[in-house]
Amino acid sequence: MKRCLLGLLLLWLTPAWASDAPRVAALSWEATEHLLMLDVTPLTVADAGDYRAWVVRPTLPEGVPSSGSRLEPNLELLADLQPELIVIPPVLEDIRPLLERIAPVQVYQGFSQQHDNQQVQREAFLDLARSLGREALAEQRLQAMDAELAQWRERLQAHYAEHLPAVTVIRFSSPTAAFINGPNSMPQHALALLGLQPALDLPPSPWGITQVPITTLGRIEQGVVLHIEPFPQEAQLFASPLWQAMPFVREQRFAAMPSTWTYGGVFSLQYLAEAIGEALLKLPSESGKAPQQPLE
């Protein structure tokens, strides 16, 4: 009886936008992004609150409830919402038989060192669109993204007189360490789409990131370093003699990027390119340099 009442309450509270659209539950954030870009608001999203705080774009309506965590979905809630489709990441394959008792399940690959993360996300978006009968809209959205990326390339080429800088994107983890976005990361894919080379080459990794000591950044003698905000301890680090001695700091080749999700679906490339482009346009045009040698 309790479960029945819960189900009736959830259906009664379901907003009007959900009534005419496909009823899809998204148990990964990449699937959430892709559904929203297909004009489908998910019935429920794993860790919905954290999505709104970290991923941000595209915007998830406030009325969409959380389906539990991305590792432990709330099966009772999913059953009560009566989805027509559940989209999951590979990490939930073990509970796929349980989910299939509720609705058909589609799984899409996440980040891996074994494939091209950018291409996998693009294919996942198109496949999801086909399953929902929204192929034309999907192609339209991808074409619009590609056109915007081309505009950013032109703006950067004009700003730097076609002497584009090598660029490395980092996220500070502490005043003594940073994560560098390297091969197969979405930031580096965005850089490539903008016609930019990395300022510091790194070995591949599953998520495309490598944690290094802050001192490693001193190897970037040429090129630009962009850091993703926020970093609560930036005042402590940026005032230190070590930081002030960095070549890219001394030569004004360092800038901040607004908080942007770096492990997203295919359209995270657009958001990252926008953030990278805006940061680079604020720097002096003479910051364009040759790429740095590989990190050994």
CB 217 within 8 A of CB 171: no
CB 66 within 8 A of CB 106: no
Clarify whether residues 98 and 149 are in a common domain.
Answer: no
* Residue 116 lies inside a defined structural domain of this protein: no
DSSP H or E segment with residue 5: helix 2-13
Number of domains into which the chain is organized: 2
Clarify whether residues 101 and 147 are in a common domain.
Answer: no
Give yes or no for residue 11 having a pLDDT over 50.
Answer: no
CATH number for the domain spanning 203: value is: 3.40.50.1980
Cα separation, 40 vs 295, whole angstroms: 43
* Residue 233 lies inside a defined structural domain of this protein: yes
Clarify whether residues 13 and 81 are in a common domain.
Answer: yes
Cα separation, 189 vs 270, whole angstroms: 10
Query: Per residue in 79-101, pLDDT tens?
Result: 999 999 999 999 999 999 999 99
Give yes or no for residue 16 having a pLDDT over 50.
Answer: no
- Domain range for 9: 2-108
Query: Per residue in 104-144, pLDDT tens?
Result: 999 999 899 889 999 999 999 999 999 999 999 999 999 99
Token pair 């056109």 is at which residue? 147
Clarify whether residues 104 and 144 are in a common domain.
Answer: no
Determine the residue type at 239.
A
Query: Per residue in 244-290, pLDDT tens?
Result: 999 999 999 999 999 999 999 999 999 999 999 999 999 988 655 44
* Residue 95 lies inside a defined structural domain of this protein: yes
Query: Per residue in 200-210, pLDDT tens?
Result: 988 888 889 99
Among 40-49, 188-197, 285-294, the range scoring the smallest mean pLDDT is 285-294
Q: Which residues pair with 224 in a beta bridge?
A: 167
* Residue 231 lies inside a defined structural domain of this protein: yes
Cα separation, 57 vs 53, whole angstroms: 10
CA distance readout (Å), 110 to 92, 128, 215, 280? 11, 14, 31, 29
User: What share of the chain in percent tops pLDDT 90?
Assistant: 83
Clarify whether residues 233 and 169 are in a common domain.
Answer: yes
Residue 184, CA atoms < 13 Å, CB-side half-sphere = 17
What was the pLDDT predicted at 241? 96
Q: Which two tokens stand for residue 224?
A: 């630009």
Q: What is the mean pLDDT of residues 224-237?
A: 96
* Residue 68 lies inside a defined structural domain of this protein: yes
What was the pLDDT predicted at 204? 87
230: cis peptide before it, omega within 30°? Answer: yes
CA angle 157, 201, 120 (to 5 degrees): 80
Q: Which two tokens stand for residue 254?
A: 């360092």
The pTM score is 0.88
* Residue 259 lies inside a defined structural domain of this protein: yes
* Residue 120 lies inside a defined structural domain of this protein: no
CB 226 within 8 A of CB 203: no
